[in-house]
Structure 1
């Protein structure tokens, strides 16, 4: 599946806010924390990874992403402090001395990621911190309607197995227990952002940059346009415009934890 950085960045402010909330929570909960080695798993095009370097200027920062299209954009943010690598999250092993492992809106793409979390936490050393944010809106109309249409009519055969069920991520309590079982002191919360979007069908524009990509990649151009027509009409009914714009509720799950020193 190819990524389109321009489409993803269409809602840059809305997409980046959870990252800032995640990193702000790390700084608030661990005011004495001074990481020297940081990895950002699923770094995308690197803008937010570079901000980790600005937040902790004494740290070496490595951003990892499996998308060549995204990694191609990271050169603008590379420096002596911040570097990037094309690699998969599934193949990642925490390097010795890693102080902070960050993953923002990436693990939902990785089947079985809770087991990967267990391995990463076991490999991280004393005083190290894990900080993760994943979308928790897979049962919202934006996603349930997509699955409903993909599983109906002529699309069912073409899109069989393309979309996963609503259990793409775990519930907050599940992550809490995993962190605690691994010996980390966990802090877990969820936030539902009420995002006010502009445009004729802004929720369709939003998902084109993320969740809809596997569907579009699996269909011919003609069939993709037909899917968007049907799905877009359903989204407009589910997310009608208001006098202030279209309100798109977006739930996100956050969890951070630190190993004892």
Structure 2
């Protein structure tokens, strides 16, 4: 899989819409074992802003955000430092495909917002069968009553993703962009419950489809430039003419699939949520 180069500013252009699932997930996280000063890991913290609601809820917590993008971490570190009530917020480089808590380190909460879908099954030293292969080690790092909470997009069959895969594999682009597409790496709620319950967890899993009303010109294209389109933009970074040609063709397809209206462009977005508490 192409390792995407991330653009924090592009990602944050739709920060308001992206914050809604984060808030909905956080609202379902129960009190933590060391509620006064918990230890929290934020996996795939991105530009750091998503970590700040964790600090707002647990102001005395020691929170570490992990990400593998240097650009995202540079932006995230603007939020680093002491929090208002004596906690700390820091950030570290980590590949979620191989990240494991250090021996003897326990987390009251392992949290991840829209990141685990990027962990693909792959062969190689230290890698696992996608993100679910890491679940046993992560649950082992929780004390009794500790929580593993995450949300991932569940829209891989939506037009935004299906059209992107079709275009990448079309005769015009397949030699340049290869056959790679954003494979559906996530389970449905029942699948996650089946993966986590045998590990000794009480599982609350659900799905929600948000209807984002996007504004502006080509708003769905602008959205995916921050996420699903990053691998393509990375591959075409050295060829501006090809990049603009691909965006023009893809943008036209998206305008047909997601027509604009006086109130905005309706962009349905399905997400999968899981809150697993270790018994």
Q: TM-score, with normalisation over the residues of structure 2?
A: 0.88
Deviates more, 1:88-97 or 1:233-242: 88-97
The residue that corresponds to 1:158 in the other structure is: 176
Cα distance 1:64–1:20, how it changes in 2: closer, same or farther (>3 A)?
Answer: same
Pairing partner for 2:273 from 238, 254, 259: 254
Unaligned runs of 5+ in 2: 83-87, 121-129
Which has more helix, going by share of residues?
A: 1
Question: Counterpart of 1:243?
Answer: 262
Match of 1:19 in 2: 22
The corresponding residue for 1:130 is: 148
Q: Within 5 Å, which residues of 2 pair with 1:185-204?
A: 185-204=202-221
Of 129, 133, 150, the residue aligned with 1:115 is 133
SS in 2 for 1:91: coil
1:83 alignment partner in structure 2: 90
Q: 2:181 and 2:156 mapped to 1: Cα distance?
A: 11
1:104 to 113, 118, 138: 113
Give me the whole-angstrom Cα distance separating, in 2, the residues matched to 1:182 and 1:91.
Answer: 19
Q: Please give the per-residue CA displacement for 1:79-130, whole angstroms capped at 9, x wherever unaligned.
A: 1311111121123112422110000000111111111123312343312100
Judged with a 3 Å threshold, the aligned counterparts in structure 2 of structure 1 residues 94 and 104 are, in CA distance, closer, same or farther, namely same
CA shift, 1:31, in A, is 8.1
2:53 to 41, 51, 54: 51
1:233 matched to 2:243: no
What TM-score comes out, normalization by structure 1 length? 0.94
Work out the CA distance in 1 between the residues paired with 2:134 and 2:77.
28
Aligned length: 257
In 1: Cα distance, 2:136 partner to 2:220 partner:
34
Cα contact 2:168–2:179 (8 A) shared by 1: no
For residue 92 of structure 1, what is the aligned residue in structure 2? 99
Deviations 1:48-107 (A, max 9, x none): 212211211221100011000011012221113111111211231124221100000001
Distance 2:175 2:79 in 1: 42
Question: How far did 1:223 drift?
Answer: 1.3
Change (3 A) 1:254 1:129: same
Aligned positions of 1:62-81 closer than 5 A? 62-80=64-82, 81=88
Secondary structure of the 1:51 match is helix
Q: Give unmatched runs, 5+ long, in structure 1.
A: none
Contact 2:32–2:109, Cα closer than 8 Å, also in 1: no
Is the contact made by 2:117 and 2:153 (CA closer than 8 Å) also made in structure 1?
A: yes
Shift, 1:144, TM fit = 0.2
8 A contact 1:163–1:214 mirrored in 2? no
CA RMSD for the aligned pairs?
A: 1.5
